Structure 1
Amino acid sequence: MTPIEKTIISLDWMTIALFMSLVVLALGKYLYHKKFLNFIILPFNDKYILLHNKKGQFSHWFHLLLTLFQLINLSLFLFLIMKSFALLPKEGSLITYFIILGFIALFELTKFLLQMFTGFVFNNLELVSGLIFSKISYLNYSSIITCIANVLLIYITTDSKTTIYVAFALILIINAIGIAKLLKNYQKALFPYFMYFILYLCALEIAPLVLIGSYLKG
């Protein structure tokens, strides 16, 4: 019988990461209960976007807490995907998680700054801010799915590719709803720049998801 080496990754730090993210979400719900109630029905009702899409929305603590919740869970979800597809190094799993977390945070921050700079250059900062806030809000909402998927992948359906694919599909659906509603709400303002908007979606929004999906399929 040939012995098979099996790397066991500690669940302790993943449990802590999940717990911290839930604390962040609970803190947002406790401190900003009305905002949270509007946020939790976001895919079915645009009240959250319409009420809170105003100057200073990006620096509001509720938005920052939700974004932190998203970063923690999205990074953990990507880590678990790598683990399920045997793409992780044998050691340094916590370090790998922090690398993923840092990369995603840097990517989102860089994209945000580039988008705001573009809005400033074309003297359309208010419109661009509204678009960005809408997209980030739906991305933050989809992090609820990643949180549930993380719990399943860590404790119940360990390394289940089915769980990953279902979660990934739900994330795509939620963000697709966000884009559809965004187009509906801003159709008059976006019409003169429709081609640029489509190019933007393909380059910065859809392309990363397609690359991830192709990578998982391969």
Structure 2
Amino acid sequence: MIPIEKTINSLDWMTIVLFMALFLLTLGKYLYHNRFVNFIILPFNDKYVLLHKKGQLLNWFHIWLTLFQLANLSLFVFLSLKIFGALPEGPSLMVFFMLMGFLALFQLLKFSVQFLKAYVFNTQELVSELVFSKTSYFNYGSLVLCAANIILIYILKDSKIVIYAAIILILLINGIGIAKLLKNYQKAMFPYFVYFILYLCALEIAPLVIIGSYLKD
């Protein structure tokens, strides 16, 4: 009888990432229950944005949701690249952290451009409210990403349908957010409409086109 060595990993790094992300979400729900209730119905009722849009970018609830979004977005991109055979070579955990660092840097760059533009045109308060509204919808979309990550890791591994479905839902949620944003701020943004369209094309639409082309190739 030849002994066979088995190595059993009870918790891999993806499980830990999901656990930490869900812990942040649970903590936000526990400490800010009323705010969480308003947030969870965001696509159907923008009460959350209307109540908390002023000076809330550095609120802990919003920060935790943004970290929840970053973790799930990074994991979703990692899994998508892996399924489409486009994952860079190297240890999986290192590649994940590289993706997370890139996505965090990209978001910080977008915020910097927005607030620099706000400083130039003296519209800091307006831009702060717009950024809060847009990131709130993006953070809400991370709930879809979290569900997709769980399905891709534990249920339907290597399922491209799950990836496509998640992307469609994310685009739908953020489309609703942009439509409501334009509706609520149409008068305030009208003098800067051209700059808004340029920003939208350069920093919102262009990355999606590049990523889509990369996955297609």
Report TM bin, short chain. over 0.9
Q: Distance in 2 between matches of 1:157 and 1:210?
A: 26
The percent identity for this pair of structures is 67
1:191–1:97 CA distance, 2 compared to 1 (3 A): same
Count of residue pairs the alignment pairs up: 208
Paired letter, 1:192: P
Q: Distance in 1 between matches of 2:164 and 2:11?
A: 22
2:39 maps to: 39
Paired letter, 1:112: F
User: Mind listing any 5+ residue stretches in structure 2 that lack a counterpart?
Assistant: 1-9
Give the secondary structure class of the aligned counterpart of 2:85: coil
* TM-score (norm. length: structure 2): 0.92
| 1:144-190 deviations in Å (ceiling 9; x for gaps) | 01100100110111111111111011111111111000000001111
Q: Distance in 1 between matches of 2:129 and 2:166?
A: 27
Would you say the 8 A contact 1:11–1:154 is kept in 2? Answer: no
How far did 1:91 drift?
4.0
1:202 maps to: 201
- Superposed, 1:116-131 pairs within 5 Å as 116-131=115-130
| 1:44-76 deviations in Å (ceiling 9; x for gaps) | 111000000012x11100000000000000000
1:139 maps to: 138
How far did 1:196 drift?
1.6
Would you say the 8 A contact 2:83–2:158 is kept in 1? Answer: yes
RMSD: 1.3
Paired letter, 2:127: V
Q: Distance in 2 between matches of 1:169 and 1:95?
A: 28
* TM-score (norm. length: structure 1): 0.92
Give the secondary structure class of the aligned counterpart of 2:57: helix
1:159–1:124 CA distance, 2 compared to 1 (3 A): same
1:115 maps to: 114
Spell out structure 1 runs of 4+ moving beyond 4 A. none
The farther-off stretch of 83-92 and 58-67 is 83-92
How far did 1:199 drift?
1.3
Paired letter, 1:34: N
The farther-off stretch of 208-217 and 156-165 is 208-217
Would you say the 8 A contact 1:73–1:146 is kept in 2? Answer: yes
Q: Distance in 2 between matches of 1:91 and 1:79?
A: 12
2:76 maps to: 77
How far did 1:116 drift?
1.0
1:91–1:63 CA distance, 2 compared to 1 (3 A): same
User: Mind listing any 5+ residue stretches in structure 1 that lack a counterpart?
Assistant: 1-9
Paired letter, 1:120: Y
- Superposed, 1:3-14 pairs within 5 Å as 12-14=12-14
Paired letter, 1:207: A
The answer as to 2:180 corresponding to 1:149 is no
Would you say the 8 A contact 1:149–1:167 is kept in 2? Answer: yes
